[in-house]
Structure 1
């Protein structure tokens, strides 16, 4: 299993998460009764983006429909957030739209992944390592996940592209600075090495084991029980496939 690193989210910790998201949706929708595209285009676009994030995270309602609504809101935001006028916000929304397409249930899966790759790649034209290192790393990791799940193209090459993206992300996602994101990317890199076609199979499995083991230094049972369990499962699979003694 691969892990997507988080972008913008609905942040409230107290209260029931599902109810908090419903309240966020209600308040963003209310804001749009004043923030019209004609009168307040920038505020309208930001609220459209925020609604997209809320629907992406929504727990209630039909999941497939929620993702469609998220895509619609992000797409609307991009009618104002152009690359020339608002490059940072454009890149943020491109990244959010890519994540929504990665999660999309409706439509053809192969095409959804291609769209996700295109939007992540577009975001990286603004989210450079020098200008926005943390956001660049997040988008690199998410691009790696998209390449790992890619249906079109050469499978071996897609895995190589995924490995390159994860490795790039880890130049910013260090264990000290971003332990959770570092662990997520280490797990993803382990998955890519375990499934790698090119290179020496035995060596690839050793690299996968090393990446999973590294991830577990941050993904502890107490702090991240679900991710700890998933990474333990991935590590067990790698040991099952191991060639070296």
Structure 2
């Protein structure tokens, strides 16, 4: 009964990750809790710990889709319970996986808080923990596990790098996401590949803001475009919806940087006369129409995107059709 419920929960968890709702994830959490009633810690300590870790994964996935922190806090409790049995000495690979998931959940919790103290603390602690986990989840022993931990390390480095004035941590984050993509290939794990491509684009954008260059912006757009090849509305509605929300910002920044280069060139070559800078809508429309993105997504004007004119959004969407 316990093992069957655990396997059932895992199947529901994988389905739930691909769907936009939370019903499957809630069912997965219930299945894991049922498994824990059968496979107790006293009888089967390592099996109990594995189920606790799986429960943590289901609760963490639920917490990411909800606005509160209750599910995330519950996930932290489950992961820490699992680690009481999954010690590094006793079960090094299980320890590395659960520790990595715990740190990722703590980072998400830090993001939810209004202050930055917990987020900075979680990022610093998780960065060290991920490096330790990589000593066990090596590329040779567990290539996809290694890629997952590399990805989580990249997130931690990006969080820390965004809050520091230099570029070293952001550059390391970019390198870490590129390393992830060496094993998390599109052929093997297409949705994880898309997720890594997306965050590579985010890190490149942050890096371009820091050093004022535009090469990284073009790479960022290319990475986001690559992710959309797998994050389609049919295959991954949740990733498709999330990814669509950051595209207006990516393209607005790219268009602004391009216009800035034109103005800078005109200032350096006064004898030539001013170079006409196209309106933002035209710049975005041209960029869209020269790229066959193969999908259309909603472009909401909210949060950071409220200052984008509606006609620019409309033109961008038209260019994607």
Q: TM-score, normalised by structure 1?
A: 0.81
2:231 aligned to which of 191, 203, 219: 219
Tell me the number of residue pairs that the alignment of Structure 1 and Structure 2 aligns.
238
Task: Give the SS at the match of 1:195.
Answer: helix
Corresponding residue number in structure 2 for 1:5: none
Report deviation, 1:81: 0.6
Q: Does 1:50 find its partner at 2:54? A: yes
Q: 2:128 corresponds to which residue? A: 118
- Mind listing any 5+ residue stretches in structure 1 that lack a counterpart? 1-7
Question: 2:215 corresponds to which residue?
Answer: 203
Q: Which residue of 2 aligns with 1:31?
A: 35
Give the gaps of 5 or more residues in structure 2: 1-9, 263-321
Q: TM-score, normalised by structure 2?
A: 0.64
Which residue, 182, 205, 208 being the options, matches 1:171? 182
CA distance in 2, matches of 1:213, 1:164: 19
Report the CA distance shift for 1:161/1:221 in structure 2 as closer, same or farther (over 3 A): same
Structure with larger RCO (C-alpha < 8 A, sep 6+): 1
Q: Given the alignment of the two structures, is residue 194 of structure 1 paired with residue 205 of structure 2, yes or no?
A: yes
Asked if 1:87 corresponds to 2:92, the answer is: yes
Question: 1:45 Cα shift?
Answer: 0.9
1:180-202 CA-to-partner distances (Å, cap 9, x unmatched) read: 32222222122212211676713
Matched, 1:146 2:156: yes
| Cα displacement string for residues 81-122 of structure 1 (whole angstroms, at most 9, x for unaligned residues) | 111221121111112112211211467221122233233223
In structure 2, do the counterparts of structure 1 residues 223 and 26 end up closer, same or farther at CA, with 3 Å as the change threshold?
A: closer
2:214–2:254 CA contact under 8 A, matched in 1: no
Distance 1:111 1:167, change over 3 A: same
